[in-house]
Structure 1
Amino acid sequence: MSFASLVPLLLLASVLGAAAQQSGDIGSLISRDLFNEMLKHRNDGNCPAKGFYTYDAFITATKSFGGFGTTGDTDTRKREIAAFLAQTSHETTGGWASAPDGPYAWGYCQLREQGNPPDYCVANQQWPCAPGKKYYGRGPIQISYNYNYGPAGKAINSDLLNNPDTVATDPVISFKTALWFWTTPQSPKPSCHAVAAGQWQPSAADTAAGRVPGYGVITNIINGGLECGKGSNPQVQDRIGFYKRYCDLLKVGYGNNLDCYTQKPFA
């Protein structure tokens, strides 16, 4: 075959490759082996979530959120995957300071909120609590409250208001609730996805509050009221520790503004 006849085939391959980048396929960036290395001890015998958080469930769930991990250049996409897994690893951590392989190898160890959590049921006309149901933290993002279970369930076509424990029994739905939270803005907060993908531009109020683009403002979105604007603290440090480990494994830089120590929480 001559070089001239190869050109159309090379062009076609290039087009198909570009299309694949936009197809929602994040498996090209995070393989099963890499996922298992990142969440190294999630299936440890001492982890309540042993066997629950699978790679296949993660990949299946991401296909319902096409922008996740597919927006921007390769480094941006990798950082979003790292940020998502880091924040959710902090929420579900089973690690401790002297844990084998370090505290940041123990994400996705927990399935439900620890201790004796309250019902997390508040008066809400649109999303009323179902009789006898409790809306404590479950899944990767530890989704809580009836006003989150309701709209999350509607978005992913699962009646979570009446069946909240589905988040702790169906791994695909569990990941979908975390991705719903990640990709859904809750005014005045932007979505975590918009920040991770570099789409968020701070308003004048954000700038005055010290909120700047970077991983730190994602922490502010998730739990700023308890963790941000208070100087250095172990919770934010833990979130950053997971993020750095995952970025290192994905072979991507961390970006800027990793903490929210001097950021005021969103109103």
Structure 2
Amino acid sequence: MKTTFAAALLASLAYAFDDGVWSGHDWFNEDEGVGVKNGVPYGQDPETQRRVDSATLQSGPGVQNKDKKNVRMIMEVFGEEDFEHLFPVHDKLYTYEAFIVAAGLYPKFCAEGDPSLGLTEAEICKRELSTLFSHVIYETNGGEPDHHEYFRQGLKHIKDHHCGKYPKYPPFDGPPECNFHSHGWSAKTWPPFEHAQYYARGPLMMKWNYNYGRFADAVYPGYPKDKMNIMMNPENLESGILGFLSALWIYMTPRSPMPSMHEIATGFYKPNEHDELSQIFPAFGATTNVFNGNKECNVEFGTESDAAYHRAQ
């Protein structure tokens, strides 16, 4: 399930800075066919460039997003009424408008698909929305069977409702399973702050300091003060737009050596021989493998966990 270093690496470097922190740090990897010029990643061939573009978060005022091609497609196949029907118990911060604004910052979401699928643009967009929301529903489910069907209880929680009850400031007196401060190289690259708690937040329940750090790199490339704000105050993800944006970042970004969930849903991912021997195919189950496969896939070879089953239910 291998993807190139190029696609997995630098979606966060989305903007050029003539006199900024990336000036004078251009490089090119000939083996991978990818490089960075003045902070902007690029691919040597069209397919590598497509992968880089797909995972790149764009900037721009949210009010302009409704003019973007992918947002128009989303609004055509999944309107606000559909959103309210699917998520009748959603937290007040998770609005349709917040989702639309966040989606517009990933222009390739709901806007591309491999021709081999034989699907229309609308069908591909529905496939993407179904894939993303299936994981969102599982991660944020209200778990109240007397109110609505299971699949209509998503977006109930904006954070881990167990870990979120403990105070923000040290000393942290929560249980060990709520402490997501890493060690080793990841802690050196994205140092956790003592007072900050990086437990699960957002529609896909992002956790760990290194994921908050990578997300901050993608949202605020070249703006260290803004990136530091997320690292110092991870509770900022307890919001509508930034929360949805964190979910889309997880969905659109490859995890080397694996492809992104977007690559799988849109048909661009092609299993290699090792994938096929491991029974990994370009279907919904492969997105679970990318998202949380170390815990949910191959409990016993050829079987699935209860969690993996409920994601696809």
Report the TM-score when normalising by structure 2. 0.65
Match of 1:135? Answer: 198
Select 1:109's aligned residue among 156, 169, 186. Answer: 156
Match of 1:60? Answer: 101
Select 1:217's aligned residue among 286, 290, 299. Answer: 286
Q: Structure 1 residues 23 and 90 mapped into 2: Cα distance closer, same or farther (>3 Å)?
A: closer
Shift of 1:24: 4.1
Distance 2:208 2:80 in 1: 32
Q: Does residue 235 of structure 1 match 2:235? A: no
Distance 1:40 1:149 in 2: 29
Shift of 1:202: 1.2
Distance 2:95 2:265 in 1: 23
Are the equivalent residues in 2 in contact too, given 1:140–1:178 (CA < 8 A)?
Answer: yes
Q: Structure 1 residues 66 and 92 mapped into 2: Cα distance closer, same or farther (>3 Å)?
A: same
Shift of 1:77: 1.3
Q: Does residue 196 of structure 1 match 2:259? A: no
Shift of 1:110: 1.1
Shift of 1:21: 8.8
1:10-43 Cα deviation digits (max 9, x unpaired): xxxxxxxxxx89454221111000011111222x
1:174 aligned counterpart, secondary structure: helix
Q: Which runs of 5+ in 2 are unaligned?
A: 1-66, 114-119, 164-176, 221-225
Match of 1:34? Answer: 82
Match of 1:78? Answer: 126
2:178 aligned counterpart, secondary structure: coil
Select 2:237's aligned residue among 140, 149, 167. Answer: 167
Distance 1:224 1:232 in 2: 10
Are the equivalent residues in 2 in contact too, given 1:83–1:215 (CA < 8 A)?
Answer: yes
Are the equivalent residues in 2 in contact too, given 1:183–1:193 (CA < 8 A)?
Answer: yes
Are the equivalent residues in 1 in contact too, given 2:138–2:310 (CA < 8 A)?
Answer: yes
**Amino acid of the residue matched to residue 99 of structure 1?**
D
Q: Does residue 151 of structure 1 match 2:192? A: no
**Amino acid of the residue matched to residue 237 of structure 1?**
Y
Distance 1:23 1:212 in 2: 27
1:108-147 Cα deviation digits (max 9, x unpaired): 1111113244221112221111231111000101001111
Cα RMSD after superposing both structures? 1.7
Select 2:277's aligned residue among 208, 212, 220. Answer: 208
Distance 1:55 1:103 in 2: 20
Q: Structure 1 residues 99 and 239 mapped into 2: Cα distance closer, same or farther (>3 Å)?
A: farther
Q: Does residue 181 of structure 1 match 2:253? A: no
Match of 1:226? Answer: 295
Shift of 1:177: 0.6
Report the TM-score when normalising by structure 1. 0.75
Greater CA drift, 54-63 or 102-111: 102-111
Match of 1:8? Answer: none
Match of 1:4? Answer: none
Are the equivalent residues in 1 in contact too, given 2:70–2:109 (CA < 8 A)?
Answer: no
2:290 aligned counterpart, secondary structure: helix
Select 1:69's aligned residue among 110, 114, 137. Answer: 110
**Amino acid of the residue matched to residue 115 of structure 1?**
H
Distance 1:64 1:227 in 2: 30
Distance 1:153 1:202 in 2: 31
Match of 2:181? Answer: 121
Shift of 1:162: 1.8
Q: Which runs of 5+ in 1 are unaligned?
A: 1-19, 43-49, 242-267
2:147 aligned counterpart, secondary structure: coil
Distance 1:68 1:188 in 2: 21
Residue pairs, 1:240-251, within 5 angstroms: 240-241=312-313
1:27 aligned counterpart, secondary structure: helix
